[in-house]
């Protein structure tokens, strides 16, 4: 009985003693696994082409989750681009649309969409009111196209509003403003 107790207490002491709680690993078998030699994009890298860390992706590759805009050079086709959120004025869609409108569009087009803003007033070519007959008569695909690729002095906002459904939510929010239900 004493031997079993002694073995149990001894085993317990060894097990608890092995747990030091330290932050350093005991042994590093493969050094580069713990600290990989990463190259930053703007760094000099003598082993790469042209000695730069930034690499060009291989030809014909597509980033994960990337969906090319098929109407980039086809304005007529963009007019007929169907809005997957057409008629959906749910609070979720309008909140998302308003969020991105307020961040990216209201700066020039105004909070209410009337073309009156501090930035718009100082521009040589004033941003249009979203209540003009011209914009009101546009199809949803035309508004989406302008958000996607820009028009006139307005640049593209596809990279600023990265998800397609968010851009369509902005279109829905603009339609909501145009109805005068805001």
pLDDT single digits (tens) 63-121: 787 788 889 888 888 888 999 999 999 999 999 999 999 999 999 999 999 989 999 88
Which one, of 73, 84, 81, lies nearest residue 142 by Cα?
81
In whole angstroms, how far apart are CA 140 and each of 95, 119, 172?
A: 18, 26, 8
Query: pLDDT per residue over 18-63, tens digit each?
Result: 665 666 656 666 666 666 666 677 777 777 777 777 777 788 888 7
**What is the C-alpha to C-alpha distance for residues 33 and 120, in angstroms, rounded to an integer?**
54
- Give me the architecture of the 89-179 domain, per CATH: Orthogonal Bundle (1.10)
Under a CB-based contact definition with an 8 Å cutoff, are residues 130 and 174 in contact?
yes
Spatial separation of the C-alpha atoms in residues 105 and 98, rounded to whole Å: 10
d(CA 112, CA 12): 72
Residue carrying the six token digits 């207490």: 9
Q: What is the pTM of this model?
A: 0.67
Residue whose pair of structure tokens reads 């006139």 in the numeric block:
152
Residue 178 pLDDT level (bands cut at 50, 70, 90): very high
What are the sequence ranges of the domains in the chain?
A: 89-179
């Amino acid at each position: 009985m004493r031997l079993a107790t002694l073995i149990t207490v001894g085993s317990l002491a060894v097990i608890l003693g092995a747990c030091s709680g330290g932050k350093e690993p005991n042994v590093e078998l493969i050094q580069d696994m713990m600290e990989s030699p990463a190259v930053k994009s703007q760094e000099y890298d003598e082993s790469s082409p042209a000695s730069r860390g930034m690499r060009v992706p291989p030809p014909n590759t597509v980033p994960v989750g990337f969906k090319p805009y098929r109407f980039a050079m086809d304005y007529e086709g963009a007019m007929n681009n169907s809005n997957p959120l057409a008629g959906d004025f749910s609070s979720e869609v309008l909140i998302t649309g308003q969020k991105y409108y307020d961040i990216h569009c209201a700066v020039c087009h105004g909070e209410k969409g009337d073309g009156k803003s501090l930035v718009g007033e100082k521009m040589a070519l004033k941003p249009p009111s979203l209540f003009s007959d011209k914009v009101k008569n546009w199809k949803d695909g035309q508004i989406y196209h302008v958000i996607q690729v820009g028009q006139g002095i307005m640049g593209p906002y596809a990279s600023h509003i990265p998800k397609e459904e968010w851009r369509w939510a902005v279109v829905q929010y603009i339609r909501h403003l145009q109805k005068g239900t805001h």
